[in-house]
Amino acid sequence: MPSKPAAPITIDAVYAAPGYLFRRMQQIAVSIFMEECKAFDLTPVQYAALIAIHTHPGIDATRLSAVIAFDRSTLGSVIERLQAKDYIERKPAPEDKRIKLLYLTKSGAAILREIIPAVKRAQARMLEPLKPADRKALMGLLVQLVDLNNDASRVPLRAEDALEHLGKGG
């Protein structure tokens, strides 16, 4: 049998590669989110940050970055923009001069309540083309994969560890 020739290098191989499909799907997800939420002037990242601060009032930036798996550097500018829009406020921590604690403002809590339906529509639209059983299957596999690959990312999710200081760990 002749030795198998090297597979031709073409763009079609890229179309079937997991990395390409993940990038593409993220692109699509952001696009749908922005479309459904265009009345609110909030990005997916800013939304996630608001929800996290709402869930953990008084969290600091470093712990927040672990809770939503954002880069610590990136998060700085996200916080700045949320503060500029008056959705959050930062208070110095009395017992540690390095830390600034994050809280939702009334505006922030209000927009969070208002945007929820749009976000739910967006999340539904992303999976809409699939049959209901396939949606479940896909989400199940994705949850597994993201969890099992957690440490492969530079900023692994540390939902639990990050919150011990708030007295909610355990």
Which has the closest alpha carbon to 75: 85, 66, 84? Answer: 66
What residues form DSSP beta bridges with 90? Answer: 102
Which x/- pattern over 40-69 shows residues binding DNA (rule: CB under 7 A)? ---xxxx-------------xxxx------
Distance of CA 18 to the CA centre of its chain: 20
Nearer to DNA, 48 or 127 (CB): 48
Amino acid at 34: M
Q: Which of 4, 97, 106, 131 binds DNA (CB under 7 A)?
A: 97
Residue number, 80 or 128, with CB nearest to DNA: 80
Q: Work out how close the CB of 24 gets to a copy of itself at its nearest, in angstroms, rounded to a whole number.
A: 5
Q: Which does 61 bind (CB under 5 to 8 A by kind): a copy of itself, DNA, none?
A: DNA
CA 108 from chain center: how many Å? 18
Does residue 81 interact with DNA by CB under 7 A? Answer: yes
Question: Which residues, 6+ apart, have CB-to-CB distance to 44 below 8 Å?
Answer: 29, 30, 33, 34
In the chain, where do the E strands start and end?
59-60, 88-93, 96-104
Which residues are near a copy of itself by CB under 8 A? Answer: 9-33, 44, 48, 51-52, 54-56, 67-69, 112-113, 116, 119, 122-123, 125-127, 129-130, 134, 137-139, 141-146, 148-150, 152-155, 157, 159
